[in-house]
Structure 1
Amino acid sequence: MTDSEGRRIPVIIDCDTGVDDALALLFAVRHPGLDLRAVTCVAGNTDVDGVVRNTLTVLERAGAPEIPVARGAARPLIEPARSARHVHGTDGMGDLGLPAPTRAPAEADAVTLLRREILASPSPVTLIPTAPLTNIALLLRTHPEVTRNIERIVFMGGAVACGNATPVAEFNVWHDPEAAAVLLTAGVPITMYGLDVFQRVVVPGARVRRLRESPDPGARLAGDLLSHRPASPGAGADPDAGGIGDAGAVCSVVDPAGLTTRPLPVEVSLAPGPTRGQTVVDRRPRPGEAEIHTGVRERALVDVALDVDVDRFVALYLDTVAGPRGPGAPAPDPR
């Protein structure tokens, strides 16, 4: 997909690489309709230095070492960092034994790089955070002028139904709830790609095995990463299947028709206790007594992902990462 004038869509990914963040980077680098302008790193799945290392390694394996990468926040705005190494391995990349990157990150910090790349883009940028939202909150509070050149923020985070970090809170939002609350008041269009769709896009085991046998390093890495996710939905019947996770948010930028969204009010629970980090999605058809008695009627709306065309996104992902692509290659057909 390109924009209305046939140009590649400028995107920036803010990530905590991470197995499925790596899958998202591989897709973004290889889809000919996307112009990945920068990648910024934040603590989340592993510590921020590990995230930087993993990100640089993935870009090199994908054949895109020139994309600028910057180190960002080492901890949430208020709380200490809490990793997800029990899911992503001690190195954050499934303990695949990948080589160290051959280059260093940019000298600029993540917020500086985000501001620079957003304002320098000739057309509005789509910002895709697939991580805790600390860098994004710092950017929006420090440099609010960037919003004039942001087309949309598509973030992987939150949940309408069940959480994973807690019964009601998804990891990225739970890791830094205050940052997520800042994002939701950014004043730009926002899409929430939450657990409700995140957990459903699963690549069949046969296709995972085929990727792992590819002679192309990037495609082979995608297969190895997918094989690290045996707990994905559907794995009971197909133990080699793997979920694309965060990559689905990037797929939705390329092919928004594959996602069913609804504009709904969303708030983040910030109070201590069992609901901290919950994304409270208001699906009621009309305001209730709480809004009537407080006089609060108008609330900012978020395009909340409620359903996804699984086969469409799986095909789009596989067609894109199966081999090297460039700006001149034909875009995969998402249908």
Structure 2
Amino acid sequence: MTTTGSSTGTEEHQAQDVILDVDTGCDDALAVLYALRSPRLNLRAITCVNGNVDVDTVVCNTLRVLDAAGAPHLPVARGAARPLVEPPHDARHVHGTDGLGDLPIPGSTRTADPRHAVELMRDIVATSPRPVTLILLAPQTNAALFARMYPEVFARLGRIVMMAGSGCGGNATPTAEFNVHADPEAAHIVLNTRVPTLMYGLDVYYQTQVDPGTVEALRTSHLPTAQLAGLLLHERYRRAGRASLGDAGAVAAASDPRGLTTTPFPVGVELSGTWCRGTTVVDRRGPGRRDAASSTSPSTVEVAHGIDGPHYTALFRDTLLGQPVHAAAPSKRPRSEPVHGGSAR
């Protein structure tokens, strides 16, 4: 059944407890800034993993973003330095040498939490009085280790929102999306944990385009979070000639699902093959045509395939500018367009 997200009264008045798992490049930074400002989210921690850049640079970038945003103290933990099986590969050609567009963002005076990212995830989920949403914006290595090391605690998660995968082609390869391609085994583990999961992938990723007027409004704001968001989006315009919310769109959708259309589909990850390793295989066949008897049938997850991009760009803009969040009600049929060729992210 295809559904368009809706918000309940509880969702409107009670912020979700969330953990962000990041490989902080430019769009991860936008996601962190949105999560800091959103009244719909209670950001409990940020965990770091190798991805766009090496994990030590990810930690450094995350702390720099928090400092530049004037954020309160927040635990930030270093996680996996490499994928489960293969050597790491990064996306510096997209995000710059330092992962943040080589922008003049000062170094941070903060220090990382001494715990490993997986231990920090475990501690927060185990002690939280409410279910925690784990938002994965990077290769899923940390989450896979969490699932394997502490399965009973992992099962207490309320849900997983993952910026990962695609049912319409790839960006790291012709068929594979970067975060899954970077660690296919980890994605396979996470998708088969049976924690309710939303896959926000390339089917919707590029459809939250930000117009130049919004970028300028953010850059000239008196708020540090908005200024930094404007700087990052301006750099994306300079490099690519366009700018979408990227990972921040997934976080905005986690906070307000009203502009997102999803359908539960079985999703598997190709773990071998010369051309298709790391591809998410979305089975859109009807139940009667699926191989239900196969013991290797993939788990069913909610796959986002339609999005009201203007709804989320308005929500992002208003949240970062500190304006009352009165984003226009999303259209009844969020658009679902084919993804166009692009860089790894």
- Distance of aligned partners of 1:41 and 1:274 in 2 relative to their CA distance in 1, 3 Å threshold: same
- Distance of aligned partners of 1:34 and 1:134 in 2 relative to their CA distance in 1, 3 Å threshold: same
Match of 1:153 in 2: 160
Cα deviation for residue 272 of structure 1 reads 3.6
How far apart, in 1, do the equivalents of 2:81 and 2:135 lie?
19
CA deviations on 1:12-35 (whole Å, 9 max, x unpaired) are 000000100000000000001210
Match of 2:131 in 1: 124
How far apart, in 1, do the equivalents of 2:10 and 2:43 lie?
14
Match of 2:77 in 1: 70
Match of 2:121 in 1: 114
Matched, 1:300 2:299: yes
CA deviations on 1:234-282 (whole Å, 9 max, x unpaired) are x7xxx4x421100111111111121000000000000041100000000
Cα deviation for residue 217 of structure 1 reads 1.9
8 Å contact 2:77–2:120 — kept in the other structure? yes
**SS of match in other structure, 1:101:** coil
Cα deviation for residue 75 of structure 1 reads 0.5
| Pairs within 5 Å for 1:90-239 | 90-230=97-237, 239=241
Match of 2:332 in 1: none
8 Å contact 2:68–2:106 — kept in the other structure? no
8 Å contact 1:33–1:331 — kept in the other structure? no
How far apart, in 2, do the equivalents of 1:162 and 1:56 lie?
33
8 Å contact 1:56–1:65 — kept in the other structure? no
> Runs of 5+ in structure 2 lacking a partner?
1-6, 330-345
**SS of match in other structure, 2:165:** coil
**SS of match in other structure, 1:149:** coil
> Runs of 5+ in structure 1 lacking a partner?
none
How far apart, in 1, do the equivalents of 2:12 and 2:157 lie?
17
CA deviations on 1:125-162 (whole Å, 9 max, x unpaired) are 01100000000000000001123421110000000011
Matched, 1:251 2:258: no
Cα deviation for residue 333 of structure 1 reads 4.2
2:37 aligned to 27, 30, 54, which one?
A: 30
- Distance of aligned partners of 1:197 and 1:12 in 2 relative to their CA distance in 1, 3 Å threshold: same
Match of 1:82 in 2: 89
How far apart, in 2, do the equivalents of 1:320 and 1:175 lie?
31
**SS of match in other structure, 2:158:** strand
8 Å contact 1:133–1:173 — kept in the other structure? yes
Q: Which amino acid aligns with 1:195?
A: L
- Distance of aligned partners of 1:307 and 1:267 in 2 relative to their CA distance in 1, 3 Å threshold: same
How far apart, in 1, do the equivalents of 2:143 and 2:45 lie?
14
How far apart, in 2, do the equivalents of 1:177 and 1:37 lie?
27
How far apart, in 2, do the equivalents of 1:5 and 1:166 lie?
39
Match of 2:53 in 1: 46
How far apart, in 1, do the equivalents of 2:238 and 2:181 lie?
21
8 Å contact 2:68–2:105 — kept in the other structure? no
Matched, 1:21 2:10: no
**SS of match in other structure, 1:191:** strand
Q: Percent identity among equivalent residues?
A: 51
How far apart, in 2, do the equivalents of 1:245 and 1:230 lie?
13
8 Å contact 2:122–2:154 — kept in the other structure? no
8 Å contact 1:20–1:244 — kept in the other structure? yes
Match of 1:315 in 2: 314
**May I ask how many residue pairs the two structures share in their alignment?**
322
- Distance of aligned partners of 1:274 and 1:259 in 2 relative to their CA distance in 1, 3 Å threshold: same
Cα deviation for residue 164 of structure 1 reads 0.2
**SS of match in other structure, 2:264:** strand
- Distance of aligned partners of 1:298 and 1:85 in 2 relative to their CA distance in 1, 3 Å threshold: closer
- Distance of aligned partners of 1:15 and 1:3 in 2 relative to their CA distance in 1, 3 Å threshold: farther
8 Å contact 1:32–1:331 — kept in the other structure? no
Cα deviation for residue 7 of structure 1 reads 2.2
How far apart, in 2, do the equivalents of 1:108 and 1:299 lie?
33
